[in-house]
Structure 1
């Protein structure tokens, strides 16, 4: 039961992060200015969509008691949350 609650929490975090990326793809946020860099805008849009897809898989995994599927979704979510930040960091202070 606890893993389902934590998985739901993880999926909500991915949804919030994905929506944030999608809503800020055309306006500046923090130190980044996607309106100046079209490639940064593309990274944000693709990352936002991927995070939302992984979050949907996370919500789907709540209904199945398949540990392997849950583990795969958790690993995919972690990777999909870290990789965009690695790409975005190169646009800091440009």
Structure 2
């Protein structure tokens, strides 16, 4: 079994390699692109982190907005609480 660090590294390493190759103009036929968009390429990791943060926030908001209410679980939990209170009263722990 492979750890999550290895999986993450295998996904991120090619992206970093492409970014460095674009940044230092190591790829063939990309010289004009690199010259024209150098500032964008330079700050691309910052943009990526910003977009990942927006994606995470949107996922949390969506999860909260679509969280399901479970009336059956609520009733079951109330019954368990009442049973626990009755048991504690029977043992004279609470009055």
TM-score grouping bracket, smaller chain normalisation: 0.3 to 0.5
Choose 1 or 2 for highest CA Rg.
2
TM-score by length of 1: 0.35
TM-score by length of 2: 0.34
